[in-house]
Structure 1
Amino acid sequence: MDISGNTIFIPGSTSGIGLALAIELQAKGNTVIVGGRRTELLERIAADHPGLDTVRIDTADPASIDAAAKEVLARHPGLNVLVPMAGIMRVEDWHRPESFLESAESIVTTNVLGPIRLIAAFIEHLRAQPDATLLTVSSGLAFAPLKVTPSYNASKAAIHMLSESIRLQLADTSVKVVELQPPAVRTDLMPGQAESEFAMPLDEFVDEVVTLLEQRPDATEIQVERVKFLRYGEARGDYDQVVATLNAADPHGE
């Protein structure tokens, strides 16, 4: 992925990693469209960051995705990068179905069906571009589980394998599939995470991600150094130790 000269749509980017990445990518010379559910947040972002375009979208609602896709493409026919960023993370107790089933269904809808539906809405347009990128967002928890967030872990593992699979299918097209794999980052994804010493500062994470995109335009996985502990535990042969350390260190992850 080239670091500049793109038109980028980031659904689910009204806060946290998504918004920080949108701001940094705009500064690198890209046209960036921020998508989110809350109109008041979108209006504030547009006022605070002139040049960022905004579109209302609820990635859990197929009709909203279709409407937003039409709006984005009408305003930005040169769109060539899609970043399905929206995600939710919740603590669950799987001893009793009444304590996890609703949460699990919501997580799968947002974190798995949302990206799938977004890709479906944009893939024909992206394939028609001379150079396009689909930047998926998984997690270090796709590779080592945090005990208290089973559905989130599973949803991000699904995104990892989805990315691997569609990269193979789209190899005969102009669409590159790149997977961003965050560690725990200081955002509001989970209560207390923004203040967690275990989590990586947001500005440091985004700076490192943008540097990696700039230095490695042909990369298929974007991994900051701090996520490699989780990503490669099985390959190193210390997976059990990684899981034990992760679950002893902090109740939150990303």
Structure 2
Amino acid sequence: MNMTDNTILITGATSGIGRALAEALHDRSNRVIITGRRQDLINAVTADRPGMSGLVLDLADRASLARLKGEVAQRFADLNVLIANAGISKTEDMTSDDWSAEDAETVVETNVVGVLRTVAAFLPLLKRQRQATIMATSSALAFVPRADFPSYCASKAFLHSWLVSLRHQLRHMPIEVLELSPPYVQTKLTGAGQLADPRAMPLDVFTAEVMAMLEEGRYPGGELLLSRDHVRRFAEHDGSYDHIFAMLNPD
């Protein structure tokens, strides 16, 4: 992926990792378009970065994505980088008598179906470019899950597998397919507690490492994965899966 002079669309970019990526890429002389569900949050981000554009997108609303697709095709026909970052996380207690599939369905709708719809919407435009990149935000928890976030972890495991297939199918086209698998980072993904948790990686440190990996081409097999997470990524291969699962999910 070239690091400058791109036209980049990033979903879920009004906070957390999405916003950090948008700001870092904008600062490297890229034309960045961010999306989010709330116009006020979009305005807050773009106000700090003159030249950055923001458009409203609700991935649960097919009409919203159709409107975005049309506007991007009209205003940003040179779009060559798509970062499907929008995602949500919810805990689920399946031992509870009150548990239902409602939260799981919400997670899957955003984290899985939302990514598929986004890629489907913009792939025709990306195919027209001389070089293009698709990146989706997965998670290190795709490889060894936290059992209290079952649907979230499963949604990221789905994305990992799906991106492998997408990368293979597009192998003869000038479209790079990348998977960003963050560790536990200081964001509000699971609430305010995660943002202040000293065990979580500071967002600015994580973002700097991602930018370095992109600049240096350090993403074997298309995976942007910090070295600290290789133990989870290869746990089954290395025979350490049960041990790591137990560490993440103590009795």
What runs of 5+ residues in structure 1 fail to find an aligned partner?
A: 249-254
Higher deviation after alignment, 155-164 or 225-234: 225-234
CA distance in 2, matches of 1:182, 1:70: 31
Counterpart contact for 1:127–1:175, Cα < 8 Å = yes
Counterpart contact for 1:93–1:100, Cα < 8 Å = no
Following TM superposition, by how much is the alpha carbon of 1:245 offset from its aligned partner in structure 2, in angstroms? 1.6
TM-score, normalising length: structure 1: 0.94
Q: Deviations over 1:12-44 (max 9, x none)?
A: 110000000100011112111110000111111
Report the residue type matching 2:49 in the other structure.
H
CA distance in 2, matches of 1:247, 1:4: 42
Alignment of 1:1-254 (within 5 A): 1-96=1-96, 98-191=98-191, 192-216=193-217, 219=220, 220-248=222-250
Shift in alpha-carbon separation, 1:217–1:244, aligned structure 2, 3 A: closer
Aligned to 1:172, the other structure's residue is in SS state coil
Report the residue type matching 2:30 in the other structure.
N
Q: Deviations over 1:118-162 (max 9, x none)?
A: 011011111111100000111001000101000001100000001
CA distance in 2, matches of 1:176, 1:218: 11
What runs of 5+ residues in structure 2 fail to find an aligned partner?
A: none
- Identical counterparts, % of pairs: 43
Report the residue type matching 1:202 in the other structure.
L
Counterpart contact for 2:213–2:219, Cα < 8 Å = no
Report the residue type matching 1:30 in the other structure.
N
The aligned length equals: 249
Aligned to 1:118, the other structure's residue is in SS state helix
Higher deviation after alignment, 34-43 or 191-200: 191-200
Counterpart contact for 1:2–1:217, Cα < 8 Å = no
Q: Deviations over 1:16-75 (max 9, x none)?
A: 000001000111121111100001111111212212110100112221111111112211
Counterpart contact for 2:218–2:224, Cα < 8 Å = no
Shift in alpha-carbon separation, 1:217–1:70, aligned structure 2, 3 A: farther
